[in-house]
Structure 1
């Protein structure tokens, strides 16, 4: 008999990750933000900021996108338990990579941390406050003009490109 994943043994959550992913994919960003904050269960899920440690190695934006795609492929087992928005800031030869993750539970699941390149990220669990909400909203819309948000809290570079892990 196959052993159950420890994340499947957590107390039930009112937040259904698949419903969130579907809503985010099929609705406006404004509606998605409202849906997210109206429904997210931050006892059953946690939010994390991931900062890429080797930004000095990022050269061309398309190569950084390939790096993200590779991480997505190697994190396939985590799709059931995580949602992420990855953002490249800056331009070719002067960029930074960050992500916001929503994960099941209060720790980074093994299904994510087991990906070989995941160790290239510094992770910080986010406390929920107005600044965090604005940052999450900006990562969901890829728009640093969201009220209350300035990407300057993590970088002084402008948004370039984003990718969603869902």
Structure 2
């Protein structure tokens, strides 16, 4: 059973404080634990303010309530998949980190991004696939970033977890 609370949360004051990959892995592990516990407040505390605001703008209530809505609108197989996702790879480039996760029975890995926010690694609203994979996104540059994609990977054209009219999502 999954549920999300606002009142009960784990302290995240030191989570993600280590430099580089160790800090990213620490934030990932704390997030996985919060998902398993249904702790929406902790999940939100591990996000940048822009990601929290984006969630709040798209749903009614606080970030923790928005996370709760996501959980309640997902079926149990989706939640079990989220709970059993493994961290496959972390790549750090400056203040950004790419987190590659694999879920059981999923052919494609998922890509998420963290940013060094202050002195902690936090989940970002930015989706930086093209920046981390220029070899897979050769047509992307500052001039055609928002052009409709026809033959390329849609991940190359996404710049945020929140679709916008400008991104063609």
Structure with larger RCO (C-alpha < 8 A, sep 6+): 1
Query: When the two structures are superposed, what TM-score results if normalisation uses the length of structure 1?
Result: 0.25
Higher helix share: 1
Higher strand share: 1
Query: When the two structures are superposed, what TM-score results if normalisation uses the length of structure 2?
Result: 0.25
